[in-house]
Structure 1
Amino acid sequence: MGLLAIIFLLVFFHTELAISASSPIFGPKQVTGLLGGSVTVKCFYPRTSVNRHSRKYWCKESTRQCSTIISSNGFVALDYQGRASITDFPENGIFIIEIAGLKRRDMGPYKCGIGFNDRGLSFRVKLDVSEGSIVPEEAQLFYVEQQGSVTMTCAFGNQYTNANMYLCKMTKTSCSTIIDTQGNIDPSFKGRVLLSKLPIPGSFSITMTQLKKQDSGLYLCGAGTYGAEGESKKLDVHVFEEALVPKIQPVLNGVRGGSVSVECHYNPKENVTVKYWCKWKQYECIQIISNSGHVQDSYEGRIVMHDNPENGTYTILLNQLNDEDAGYYWCMTNGEQERKSSTELNIVEGKPNLAVDNGVQVVAGSPLTVSCSYPCKYANYEKYWCKWKNTGCDPIVSIERDPSGFTVNCNKGNRVLTLNFDQISLADQGWYWCGIRHASHYGETHAIYLQVQGVLQNSGDVRNPSEESNDGTDVPQIKPENRGVPLNEPKEAAGVGGSADSHGDSKSSTVLLSVLIPVGVIFLLLVTMFVVVKYRFFKHSDLVSVGSYRTNISMTDFENARQYGAKDNICMEGAHETQIGGTNDCVIMTGSPKEEGKSRKKKRGSKEEVEMAYTTFLLNSENLEFARNSQEQNSGSC
């Protein structure tokens, strides 16, 4: 009989421990209060609709039963009236029991639970009452659902600013290091634990994600060396099984040049405003993309985030994979209860399923068709093209026209999805994605960069501007026969070459017009003034023929021809004509003796003198030959 009793007790206690271990209710294993003082007990439970409205209780165990001390239905045991209370916080999944005026008989085992009896959802707590003045430090509790995450903060003061900081998990004999600032990390936690120093000296935070049931237990975070020097703090982590745990793919394999798709989960009912994806490092998680539109420069054109609030997911698509992309990535939100899932990305040998030309150069104004071929396994999937932006890539499916002017057509016989442009414009330059989608889940993608350069002239030749493009890079020349032809080599994401020309030409034209209009007005005024002056001059002039020239000469100009050195009837006696411009120096009287005493007329202006000299030359040039003959006959007449 004694042996049977022992076996029964062992089975009973084993069953109790199994129930306690598998129960989703969680609380402190032990609490201590001072005699006459008070204690506070926190009990956690899953936030299901049933649990939120169920009865919560606190009972004291005995050999026969667990007698209720207080419950959320309003019951309070006689001995605890006025010194015990229970408060439920269903939105946070926690209820709190407070007991004041502690007595020695309050010591013993208790249970906090949900339901009408202690056989269901409950957790065992031991209460101690101390007669001393110091209460031992209790472990900080962390209640985390499976595949979820937790962040724990530890602070130890300025004296530990340069000390080693660590997190370890308690075992029966020691504390096994999970991560520390000396570069050590447990292989089973690689990629899913993060240690970050905080701005306050001597403080740091630990974030663990993708938690498993076996991760439950007692941890120590500390500064210094465990068991030798420094300080530490107890952290009690409980991972409970959630009925509906989202499927998370912990490992992804991608091929060089290919793509991967990562689905992140969050609770759409909570006020989640920040969502981002980051790459894990041992002491930081570098943000790559967020729902605010931030994209790290090295990922521009090859990563996008699709948010789906209806089912509480956001999908990350990453393509153009290379060896440097291998590593661990975290899905992050600002929700306190949100999962921060971790995914490992491996780069393996293979070829992408989607085939698109690496890069395309095209001249503005010309048509373009870009093809994307896919394998037979994607024949019944939805195919799409989209233009990439840092805020997303909205798909344009087959036979659908985008407002920007391009269409997408799918030839299932050839398994080709084409992107068609009737006329390329400078605004069409950028990254374009060909992708696969099935039942609202995004699959493989492939990206190309479309570079638009130059403009077409009326003659059909290509005008390639020499100015720099918008991003400061020189625009390479494109031959007319290569317009719209895909290139074998991938091109860098250069700026729009023709945009600067267009803007520069427009600006130059405006400046030219602003200068020419005033100059033209001034020119017209000058012409008008010249015409008026000439008109007045011509009223007193006769038309004279001089050789092969015709000119207008005023007859009054002949009156003073002698004043310009071309004397009338020079070196003549009587009425005989003689030479013009001979070599003899002759003194000629220009008037009668009666006129010698009179004063000469005032000379004309310099302008009139010049005109008169030229006119006289023209008048006498016709008789030049005759004058030479006369000179020979009368060489000594003076």
Structure 2
Amino acid sequence: MTLLALLFLLALLPAGSAKSRHLPKASISSPVFGPRQVHGVLGGSVTVKCFYPATSVNRHDRKYWCKESGSRCVTMVSTNYVAPSYQDRVSLTDHPEAENFQINISALGLEDSGSYQCGLGVNGRGLSYRVTLTVAEAPPVPEAAELFYVKLRSTWTVSCSFGPETADMKRYLCKKDKEGCRTIVNSYQEIDDAFKGRALLTFEEPLGSFSVTMTQMDWEDAGLYYCGTSEYGSGGKSKELDVFVYEDKNFPQLKTTVTGIKGSSATFECLYDPLKKSTTRIWCKWRVQGCDKIIDNTGYVKYSYEGRVAMFENPGNKTVTIVLNQLEAKDQGFYWCMSNELKEQQSSTELKVVDGEPGLTGKKEVEAPVGSRLGLTCSYPCKYYSYEKYWCKWNYTGCPVLPAQDQGLPGPSATCNTSNKTVVLSFDPVTEEDEGWYWCGVKRNGLFGEVMAVQLRVAAGNDARHSPELLDVGDSSPESGAAPPGGAYSDAEVRKGASPESSDESHGSNTLALVLGPLAGLILIVVTAFAIVKYRQMKRSDLVSVGSYRTNISMSDFESVRDYSASNSACVKDSQETPMGQDEFITTTDTLESAADTKKAKRSSKEDADLAYSSFLVTSDSIAQDSSRGDSTVLDVSPKQDQV
């Protein structure tokens, strides 16, 4: 039973420690590294370079070079010692800043061939590396492999040159294995799947030269490589490269993968040395044929990324932070941090864009007229409640945070309404200089978190489209709820005289005014139109029916007829008067007219026409009767009047 359990554990061990079983023995046993094989010619000289981690202890520790003899290793030279038999022939020089020391051996003899060790401390301590020296009687001497001492998770860069005659030939980098040499990348844009996003081949000067950069070096990347032209083993030119990977506990371990939500943002980190001011830091998107530059620290930003990307330097921890917002599916891929000086500080990070809801929300495009008051809003969820919130204005060299209240500077101010978890950036008033991109973001312990970008367009006069962010122009006193210029508030700090409720009421009144204003204007227009129509109806001629005829009778005609009938009735007044006491008289004609005038205000224009026409008939009949009785006044009725 115990044997079965042991076999089961052995079967699981390779799967669970696949990476460990591929570790180079040198990487496991010792961080000291040197050449495997050194070739020299009789009477000539050789130089052996041995690498070691440049820790404070290693810098001051003893370095040595010894020759193996049985179970012993006899020291030929060390930091403060040279064997008598090797005086004036062997020297050791330490270069702690370059993390190596060099041994130079001159006047080589055949007896110098053998196995040696370069190391630190005392013999047998384990911090050593075995080197085989071969002395040939005559040239040619095989070219020794170029050595590379690479930190875990850092970047390896190699340059190869084979002359201008190879400019039109395929160039490659391959790694030696049991089956041959596995192609990593070549100039025909072919790349091994395991190195996509990690390896980059670029052409250099002079003609025929090229370089290969590999990022995120891991333990299994140690080994022998070849860079060359045409195909490996086909007779083309090639060069051997010996790569050693070691772990430096002080070397920062950066993220290799970043995940961002569509429409939100992603944050990347790059390494840099703040002491080297001349270093150009570049951030680009990896492609098989090269790296497409997006932004650098000199103020360059690719046109299609304006307002979307910014670079922030953090000298304290020797990093550069890059924030990319407004993420789209096409942004997915590998992004590189590059440097023109410190190649090992270059790195790559894979960005994965997934579906989801961004944490920060708000209107992304706002237009406002010059002179208006404006508030850009940025709402955040409860998970960001304890985070530091900020607004900044984007530019080509970064995104400086807007002034805080205690600085007392004029300009936009940031306030936070804790009741609805919204950060507001206020402008009072908006100026042409305010146009541009504004970022709302969160931070935690100084590290950049999610970011939302808002584009503000400023229009002259009242040409801007109405926006719910526009605030009423009116009383700008503190009691009105407007934020004072230069004020920055966190969630836990609400300014005096402006509680969350007052902010809500101000926002509600603004919304009510925006809704009722157009409605009142519409009602006013309708009432005015109705009054105009009624006025025109009073002025125009009414269509009246008389028997089987329809004719247009002007109200002025009725007025003239009524006046004429009144004057005519004065002629027959004596025959129609009825005494009612003293000076009071009532006439039949006066009674009809007064009744019509009294009811006129309550009747329509058509009723007025009917009444006037009836009065006309009565008056005409009265005149006809008086004429037949021999009255002195005669009314001449022409045939045209019969047609009325």
Please say whether Structure 1 and Structure 2 have the same fold, judged by a TM-score greater than 0.5.
yes
Correspondence 1:25 to 2:32: yes
**1:234-265 Cα distance to aligned partner (Å, 9 max, x none):** 11111111113323111111122110001112
* Aligned residue runs from structure 1 range 123-162, under 5 A: 123-162=129-168
Partner of 2:517: none
Q: Are 1:56 and 2:63 an aligned pair? A: yes
**CA offsets, 1:487-507, max 9 Å, x none?**
xxxxxxxxxxxxxxxxxxxxx
Distance 1:421 1:20 in 2: 60
**Which residue number in structure 2 is paired with residue 388 of structure 1?**
394
What TM-score results when the alignment is normalised by the length of structure 1? 0.68
Letter in 2 for 1:244: N
Q: Name the CA shift for 1:278/1:51 in 2 (closer, same or farther; >3 Å).
A: same
Provide closer, same or farther for how the CA distance between residues 483 and 116 of structure 1 changes in structure 2, counting only shifts above 3 A: closer
Q: 1:483 to 1:38 in 2, by over 3 A?
A: closer
Query: CA deviation digits over 1:311-341, x for unaligned, max 9?
Result: 1011000101112211111112233354211
Q: CA deviation digits over 1:149-207, x for unaligned, max 9?
A: 12111111232221111100001230001001223211111111110112322221111
Distance 2:148 2:255 in 1: 25
Aligned partners of 1:396 and 1:357: how far apart in 2? 19
| Residue 269 (structure 1) shift | 4.7
Cα distance change of structure 1 residues 272 and 63 upon mapping to structure 2, 3 Å threshold: farther
Higher helix share: 2
1:42 counterpart letter in structure 2 = K
Separation in structure 1 between the aligned mates of residue 68 and residue 27 of structure 2, nearest angstrom: 14
Match of 1:484 among 470, 477, 480: 470
Which amino acid in 2 is paired with 1:451?
R
Task: Report the equivalent of 2:448.
Answer: 442
State yes or no: 1:38 paired with 2:33: no
Looking at structure 2, the residues matched to 106 and 396 of structure 1 have their Cα atoms a distance apart, in angstroms, of 71
Secondary structure, aligned partner of 2:295: strand
| Letter of the structure 2 residue corresponding to residue 30 of structure 1 | Q
Alpha-carbon distance in structure 2 between the residues aligned to 1:45 and 1:445: 43
The Cα offsets for residues 263-285 of structure 1, whole Å up to 9 and x where unpaired, read as 11234455563212111112311
**Selected match of 1:279 from 260, 285, 294:** 285
When residues 483 and 420 of structure 1 are mapped into structure 2, their CA distance, relative to the original with a 3 A threshold, is: closer
Is residue 2:102 matched to residue 1:116? no
**2:305 matched to which residue of 1?**
299
**C-alpha spacing 1:213/1:20, structure 2 compared with 1 (3 Å):** closer
1:39-118 aligned at under 5 Å gives the runs 39-73=46-80, 75-118=81-124
Distance between the aligned counterparts of 2:347 and 2:149, measured in 1? Answer: 16
Question: How far apart, CA to CA, are the structure 1 residues paired with 2:137 and 2:252?
Answer: 49
Question: Conserved in 1, the CA contact under 8 Å of 2:430 and 2:458?
Answer: yes
SS in 1 for 2:470: coil
Residues 508-557 of structure 1: CA distance to partner in whole angstroms, max 9, x if unpaired? xxxxxxxxxxxxxxxxxxxxxxxxxxxxxxxxxxxxxxxxxxxxxxxxxx
Deviations 1:81-106 (A, max 9, x none): 11001111111111110001111221
Task: Give CA-to-partner distance per residue, 1:588-621, whole Å, 9 cap, x none.
Answer: xxxxxxxxxxxxxxxxxxxxxxxxxxxxxxxxxx
Matches within 5 A, 1:162-561: 162-270=168-276, 273-336=279-342, 338-396=344-402, 403=409, 405-455=411-461, 462=462, 464=463, 478=465, 484=470
Q: Match of 1:345, as an amino acid? A: L
Q: How much identity, in percent, do the aligned residues show? A: 48
Q: Work out the CA distance in 2 between the residues paired with 1:275 and 1:360.
A: 33
Please tell me whether the aligned partners of residues 306 and 392 of structure 1 are also in contact (alpha carbons under 8 angstroms). yes
CA contact (8 A) 1:76 1:84 kept: yes
Q: CA deviation at 1:482?
A: 7.3
Secondary structure of 2:383's counterpart equals helix
- Are 2:438 and 2:455, in contact at CA under 8 Å, matched by a contact in 1? yes
Indicate the residue corresponding to 2:484 in structure 1: none
Q: Secondary structure at the match of 1:276?
A: strand
User: Does structure 2 conserve the Cα–Cα contact (< 8 Å) formed by 1:31 and 1:127?
Assistant: yes
Contact 2:201/2:210 (<8 A) preserved? yes
Q: Whole-Å Cα distance in 1 between the matches of residues 446 and 468 of structure 2?
A: 39
In structure 1, runs of 5+ residues without a counterpart are 1-13, 456-461, 465-476, 487-638
Amino acid in the other structure paired with 1:219: Y
Q: Give, in whole Å, the separation in 2 of the partners of 1:400 and 1:264.
A: 33
Partners of 2:90 and 2:253 in 1: how far apart?
43
Shift of 1:396: 3.4
The answer to whether the 8 A contact 2:216-2:348 is kept is yes
TM-aligned CA deviation for residue 404 of structure 1? 5.0
Instruction: Give the counterpart letter for 2:65 in structure 1.
Output: W
Q: Distance in 1 between matches of 2:415 and 2:189?
A: 53
CA contact (8 A) 1:177 1:185 kept: yes
Q: Which digits, 9 at most, give the CA deviation of each residue in 1:467-503, with x for residues without a partner?
A: xxxxxxxxxx546x878289xxxxxxxxxxxxxxxxx
**Whole-Å Cα distance in 2 between the matches of residues 272 and 146 of structure 1?**
26
Q: Matches of 2:118 and 2:313 in 1, distance apart? A: 40
TM-score (norm 2): 0.67
From the superposition, tell whether residues 169 and 136 of structure 1 become closer, same or farther in structure 2 (CA, over 3 Å): same
SS at match of 1:396: coil
Map residues 618-629 of structure 1 onto 2, 5 A cutoff: none
Q: Aligned letter for 1:81?
A: Q
Cα pair distance change 1:418/1:64, threshold 3 Å: same
Amino acid across the alignment from 1:304: A
Q: Judging changes above 3 Å, is the alpha-carbon distance between structure 1 residues 32 and 271 closer, same or farther for their aligned structure 2 residues?
A: farther
Secondary structure of the 1:310 match is coil
Q: How far apart in 2 are the matches of 1:160 and 1:376?
A: 62
Distance 2:206 2:51 in 1: 30
Q: Distance in 2 between matches of 1:332 and 1:20?
A: 27
Query: In structure 2, do the counterparts of structure 1 residues 82 and 241 end up closer, same or farther at CA, with 3 Å as the change threshold?
Result: same
Distance 1:242 1:272 in 2: 26
Q: Is the 8 A contact 1:398 1:409 kept in 2?
A: no
Secondary structure of the residue that 1:214 maps to in structure 2? Answer: helix
Instruction: Check conservation: 1:197, 1:204, Cα contact below 8 A.
Output: yes
Distance 1:26 1:385, change over 3 A: same
Deviation at 1:126, TM superposition (A): 0.4
- Deviation of 1:227 after TM superposition, in Å, equals 1.7
Secondary structure at 2:433 match in 1:
helix
Residues of 2 paired with 1:293 and 1:270: CA distance?
A: 18
Secondary structure at the counterpart of residue 59 of structure 2: helix
Deviation string 1:292-319 (CA, Å, 9 cap, x unpaired) is 1111111101111110112101100010
Q: Aligned pairs, how many? A: 450
Question: Aligned partners of 1:131 and 1:172: how far apart in 2?
Answer: 32
Secondary structure of 1:229's partner?
coil
